[in-house]
Amino acid sequence: MGRNNNVTVFILLGLFQNKNSETLCFVLFLFCYTAIWVGNLLVMISITCSQLIEQPMYFFLNYLSLSDLCCTSTVTPKLMADLLAERKVISYNNCMIQLFTTHFFGAIEIFILTGMAYDRYVAICKPLHYRVVMTRRKCNTIVAACCTGGFIHSASHFLLTIFLSFCGPNEIDHYFCDIYPLLKLSCSNTRIIGVLVIATSGLSGLVSFVTLLLSYFFILYTIRAYSAESRRRALSTCSSHVTVVVLFFAPALFIYIRPATTFPEDKVLALFYTIIAPMFNPLIYTLRNMEMQNALRKVWCRQVILKGNSPF
């Protein structure tokens, strides 16, 4: 796939070099990965099987949970397997696939979070037009645009990377294949490619983040004239989203908005948007949201009753 490529496999250095630390991390990440699947599946099933799916905010939350599952599944299983392996090896082709899928689902998540901010803006700043503006067709269009944007973003990274030459060494100082560590290994001239990566990755994330900030600026500006109780209700619908945005955007922007360099802290920061945010998102949206709590109780209590009445 690459040009003048003498490397067929890469060695991932992982998070730690200490074997005892790796064993402990395996147990920790196994718990995290299980919690990610259980939490996000509970959210998806509860929304899909209740009337919440008719509300745009929960319609987007359903897709956010799906993108969380897909994004973390491109990285976490390989990370856990490597923690128990003597040599953390990944083939060139699998490395390119991981690069594409990680950025694809990660970009979709960023765009969905931006779409959710737009939904909150319309709901609070233009409440009389909310049902007219946020129709199911409009929501489907936003999700389709998020997927298209994610594909364009990841395809651009993929195309920039496959034309790089790798002559050796082949050790990636990370726990998954990412663009900046690969640029560091390449024997090609990566200056122009590094600038293009910042333009396609860092700036797109920054534009999304600025859009989020503007949405909440207008929300705060609008509710300043509300009563204290109305302000509290309006802000309560946004607090969960703001928490998730900070968890996901802050480390991602730190890594991708700067020039094409790598720091040892990047591996730890990457855990936030590959494992920590997908694990905490269901808790954040459930613990701080009465509608989600009611939907969970109704859906799962109904399942228990149906099983109790079943003759088998």
Task: Render 173-188 in DSSP notation, one character per residue.
Answer: SSSS--HHHHHHH-SS
In tens digits, what is the pLDDT along the chain, a chain of 312 residues? 445 667 788 999 888 777 777 888 899 999 999 999 999 998 998 898 888 889 999 999 999 999 999 999 999 999 999 988 888 899 999 999 999 999 999 999 999 999 999 998 998 888 888 999 999 999 999 999 999 999 999 998 898 888 888 887 888 888 999 888 888 888 888 788 878 887 777 677 778 888 888 888 888 888 887 777 777 777 777 777 888 888 888 888 888 777 767 777 788 888 988 999 899 988 888 766 777 778 777 776 665 555 555 554
Residue 216 and residue 242 in contact, taking contact as beta carbons nearer than 8 Å: yes
Find the distance separating the first CA and the last CA of the chain, reported in whole Å: 55
pTM: 0.88
Dist CA 195 CA 177 (whole Å): 19
Omega within 30 of 0 (cis) for the link into 169: yes
Looking at residue 30, its pLDDT comes to: 95
How far lies 132's CA from each of 119, 127, 129, in Å? 12, 10, 5
In this structure, which amino acid lies at residue 310?
Answer: S
CB-based contacts of 126: which residues, under 8 Å, 6+ apart? 133
Class of residue 1 by CB neighbours under 10 A (exposed 0-12, middle 13-18, buried 19+)? exposed
- Dihedral sign, CA of 20, 26, 29, 35? negative
pLDDT of res. 184: 86
Nearest Cα to Cα of residue 121 among 109, 133, 107:
133
Q: Where are the domains of the chain?
A: 21-307
| pLDDT value for 6 | 73
Give pLDDT, residue 300.
67
What is the reported pLDDT for 1? 42
Q: Give the pLDDT confidence score for residue 2 in this predicted structure.
A: 42
Quote the pLDDT of residue 312: 46
Of the candidates 177, 142, 174, the residue with the CA atom closest to the CA atom of residue 157: 177
| CATH no., domain 21-307 | 1.20.1070.10
The pair of three-digit structure tokens given for residue 163, joined into one six-digit string: 């034309």
In b/e form, how buried is each residue of 121-148, taking b as 16+ CB within 10 angstroms? bbbbbeeeeeeeebeeebbeebbeebbe
Query: Residue 274 is inside which H or E element, if any?
Result: none
Categorise residue 91: left if φ over 0, alpha if ψ from -120 to 50, beta otherwise: beta
